Amino acid sequence: MGGSGGWYNWGKPPDVDKLLNQMHSNEQRAQYEVEINQYLLDLLSNYNDRKVEEIQQHLDTIKRALDKDIEGAVDLIFGGSISKHTYVNGLSDIDMLVRINNTSLTNASPAQVKEYFAERLRRRLPNTEIRVGALAVTVRFSSTGHEIQLLPALSTKTGVKIARADGNGWSNVVKPARFAEKLTEANRLCNQKLVPVIKLFKGLNESLSEKVRLSGYHIEALAIKAFDTYSGRMTYKDMLLHLCRQAPKLVLSPMSDSTGQSVHVDEYLGGANNLLRQQCSAALERLANRLSNADRLMNIDQWKGIFT
């Protein structure tokens, strides 16, 4: 029995070379996935090095200076990225709420409180850079490079009041805990990996020109939105790529501020789809394309080049 009509139809012989190449490719991809996620984990380890003892020494010095000659004591409370666990060593400011309730400063204006802080700090730290801004007094310690922002704050039953951006009086009640709770919940739904991915994105953000660089608060809000309906893999690499691909679209529209501090978290970019937002979007898209290309080529050196 022979020919095509026989019992034994072996079909088309498999392309052995193609199968071997596919197997080899799968092994390479698996190895690459392990290595790139380990690289991102190592980056996070550096980002998390907060030099806690150095910072605490600076805070003790500041508190002693502010407490001197004042009736009552001030409290220093971590705010900003530290309170939300998104602080990145070397990139994030150290924001401190200086609670002045029950002190002789309670009835002073924000401008008077800031000048009081600056005067006491300059007397205690004559060789240290101290700047008075619209919201805060900034102290830069040249010995360690740490920059600490001190925001005068009045506690209320539902939140805190800080200086208004225009410098005229105290703000409405701000509820920073509301946003922090939202971020905590989003992080939980992402297997505790959203906050680390935000830190990685902040690292990438530093590679952009200052004009199109996003604020830390804005990045946190973008991340919450980007992962609202995320269904991909919960790996650092995949999640970072997802955030980078979503950011160019999300940055074009203003995002509401749930804390009450302002109308939008990204007021510094102006109205929807304006020129500055389009420039930010274009810069973020170029960044996303570079990362996608490095991922397609499985090239970890390209990843490293983007982060440095």
Give the pLDDT confidence of 219-251 residue by residue, as tens digits.
999 999 999 999 999 999 999 999 999 999 999
Decide which of 177 and 255 is more confident.
255
Q: Give pLDDT, residue 14.
A: 61
Q: How far is CA 17 from CA 11, 12, 25, in A?
A: 17, 14, 12
Higher-confidence residue: 245 or 146? 245
Residues contacting 262, CB < 8 A, separation 6+: 165
Q: How many Å apart are CA 228 and CA 186, to the nearest integer?
A: 8
Residues 285, 278: Cα–Cα separation, whole Å = 10
* Residues 18, 26 contacting (CB under 8 angstroms): no
Cβ atoms of residues 164 and 171 within 8 Å: yes
pLDDT of 279: 98
DSSP label at 76? E
pLDDT class of 259 with cuts at 50, 70, 90: confident
Closest of 243, 241, 240 to residue 225, by C-alpha: 243
Q: Which of 304, 296, 302, 305 is nearest to 25 (CA)?
A: 296
5 has a pLDDT exceeding 60: no
Quickly list H helices, the chain.
16-47, 52-67, 80-83, 110-124, 176-189, 194-205, 216-226, 236-250, 275-297, 300-307
Give the model confidence (pLDDT) of 25-58 as tens digits: 888 999 999 999 999 999 999 888 777 888 899 9
Amino acid at the residue 99: R
pLDDT at 11: 56
**Token pair for 123:** 């007397």
Write the CA distances from 244 to 57, 229, 284, integer angstroms.
Answer: 37, 15, 7
Tokens of 129: 């850079």
